[in-house]
Amino acid sequence: MSVTADKRPVPWLKAVLLGLILLSVILRLVNLEADFPSGLNWSADLYTDEGWYSGNATAWTLTGNWYVEGDFNSIINIPVFPLIQMATFRLLGVSLFSARLTAALFSVALLGLVYLLVRRFAETLTALLAVLLLASNFTVFAYSRLALLEIPLTAFVLLSLWLASSFPRRLVLPLSLSALAFAAAVLTKTTALPLLPALLYIVWIRGPASWKQRLMACGVVLAGVAGVLLAYNLLALRLYPTDYLYFNSANVTPRLEWTLFFFLKTLARILFNGTVLDRLMYPLTLVFTPIFLFVSKDYRRNPLVILSIIWFAAYAVFLGIRGYLPPRYYIPLSVPIVLLFSLMVRQAYQKLKPSPAAWIPIGVAAAIILVNLAAMIGYLRAPQYTFRDLGRTIQQSIHSTQGQPVYLLGNLANSISLSSQIPSINTDLGPRGLTWKIERYHPGYFISLGEEENMLERLSNDYQVQALSKVDVFNNYYLGKPVYFYQLIQKPPQP
């Protein structure tokens, strides 16, 4: 990691890092409709969550109404991402590509914000290394190509941190903008809220010398975040009380047991399952961070190190309280892991040079980057499109048997809408029950992950259920279940 006397990176090395970052950015925009890589997910969210959180934007584009009465209206509680999706769908139409493009562009913004934040506290080369480690990370790359909320929320959190760290200390306006950006993160997904201590830390260290003035700066940010969130939530509760309360009961309430064994088990899961982010960088960071904190005064005094530890600890506590730990929940942890590792590489190199051993941390970082880039390229060389093709097949089936579009029913129907352009109703989510939804929307088709025998029995009360197809999607990674597609033929009313 050669650096000239004025601490600017050697031009060729800077060019190499920038070139690899650009390659990583381009790759995340290639084949956006391809299936998610195998082996990275143990949750069923690949079938469902993209549609759940884009559902109101999809409904608005397909039917002209964003509010789907009785169904899952996530836009009421977390409006930021669906509103952005509405703009995307208006420009590009509803498709898997347009839905995922929004998240992919957020991931590009995320990289830029990492660079800007690191440059506040470290030199250019360290900032470029951090960006490249994040840009080339295969897991972050994979999730940046799904229309999920973790990448956007992380980008808004980073924006708030950068705003708080980058302007003159005494200005109220940048602090207010930082608070607004953090509120946007929470209104993207409520799981951003545990990261508030990281923002307060940045505000504290960037504030005036007087501790009273620093407290006032933190108070401005807290008041801004609380004011925006309180005002919005009161408005949402007043306008749509049933939907608002339903969402909170289904998504915000902690899923935990108040026992020591539960917390120890969850902590072990967090530490072990976090390797999904990177099987080498993640454990190396967890093992060597305490060592570097002990032996290096410069490392433990670096604001980025302290910020990253606060970020990681606060979010890990949230995960422990939440108890529900699908892989996508670990994505926000990628930022502190990358920052800690990049600073360790820099610190180790500077302490070991001019010894040849100084190249060991550089070699480890290079190996991590190259392995991840190779995984990205290997994945993109042989893409599969089973999920996209399922939606297109359903679209053709429905239009070939009906003169006009009808509603598709099912827990994964909202996601199928993205590739089929067929309006959908969720069987499991929403404040209204299935009977009410059937009477209100008269769905013509049903789709399920696996044979939902109880649901089929319930539907048979109102419909003649005709099986149309059974399709293998995502290699049936979730419990070996294929996707089943049925036509619902309304039974004549009983005399």
Give the tens place of pLDDT for each residue, 280-313.
999 999 999 999 999 999 999 999 999 999 999 9
| Residue 338 shares a structural domain with residue 455 | no
Backbone angles phi, psi at 464, to 5 degrees: -90, 115
| Domain containing residue 458 | 386-490
Q: Report the distance separating Cα 181 and Cα 159, nearest Å.
A: 6
Confidence (pLDDT) at 404: 57
Mean pLDDT taken over the chain: 91
* Inter-residue long-range contacts of 243-250, CB under 8 Å, 24+ positions, other chains counted: 243/73, 243/76, 243/77, 243/431, 244/76, 244/77, 245/431, 246/430, 246/431, 247/72, 247/73, 247/74, 247/76, 247/77, 247/78, 248/77, 250/429
**What residues form DSSP beta bridges with 467?**
486
| Residue 285 shares a structural domain with residue 258 | yes
In a domain? residue 202 = yes
pLDDT higher than threshold 60 for residue 315: yes
Helix H or strand E encompassing 483? strand 483-490
* DSSP at 405: -
| Residue 322 shares a structural domain with residue 366 | yes
pTM of the model: 0.94
In a domain? residue 2 = no
Among the candidates 359, 381, 403, a domain finishes at: 381
Among the candidates 381, 405, 433, a domain finishes at: 381
| Residue 350 shares a structural domain with residue 414 | no
**Per-residue confidence at 110, pLDDT binned at 50, 70, 90?**
very high
CATH code where residue 469 lies: 3.40.190
pLDDT higher than threshold 50 for residue 5: no
In a domain? residue 300 = yes
Give the tens place of pLDDT for each residue, 123-135.
999 999 999 999 9
| Residue 352 shares a structural domain with residue 329 | yes
Q: Which tokens is 452 given?
A: 């939902």
Q: Report the distance separating Cα 158 and Cα 180, nearest Å.
A: 12
In a domain? residue 1 = no
| Residue 414 shares a structural domain with residue 372 | no
| Residue 348 shares a structural domain with residue 482 | no
| Residue 478 shares a structural domain with residue 452 | yes
Helix H or strand E encompassing 466? strand 463-471
pLDDT higher than threshold 60 for residue 403: no
**Per-residue confidence at 400, pLDDT binned at 50, 70, 90?**
low
Task: List C-alpha distances in Å: 351 to 3, 172, 293, 348, 354.
Answer: 14, 40, 14, 5, 9
Radius of gyration, CA atoms only, the chain: 24
Q: Range with the lowest mean pLDDT among 6-15, 76-85, 363-372? A: 6-15
Q: Report the distance separating Cα 479 and Cα 345, nearest Å.
A: 40
Place of tokens 């070699």: 363
**Per-residue confidence at 50, pLDDT binned at 50, 70, 90?**
very high
Confidence (pLDDT) at 117: 96
Give the tens place of pLDDT for each residue, 420-467.
999 999 999 999 999 999 999 999 999 999 999 999 999 999 999 999
| Residue 304 shares a structural domain with residue 445 | no
CA angle, residues 210, 213, 217, in degrees to nearest 5: 135
Among the candidates 381, 403, 418, a domain finishes at: 381
User: In the chain, how many domains are there?
Assistant: 2
| Residue 123 shares a structural domain with residue 255 | yes
In a domain? residue 135 = yes
Give the tens place of pLDDT for each residue, 149-206.
999 999 999 999 999 998 765 677 888 999 999 999 999 999 999 999 999 999 998 8
| Residue 292 shares a structural domain with residue 441 | no
DSSP labels, 285-334 = HHHHHHHHHHH-HHHHH-HHHHHHHHHHHHHHHHHHHH----GGGGGGGH
- Stronger pLDDT, 106 or 316, i.e. the higher one: 106
In a domain? residue 4 = no
Say whether the peptide bond before residue 79 is cis (omega within 30 degrees of 0): no
In a domain? residue 6 = no
Give the tens place of pLDDT for each residue, 364-377.
999 999 999 999 99
Confidence (pLDDT) at 131: 98
| Residue 426 shares a structural domain with residue 319 | no
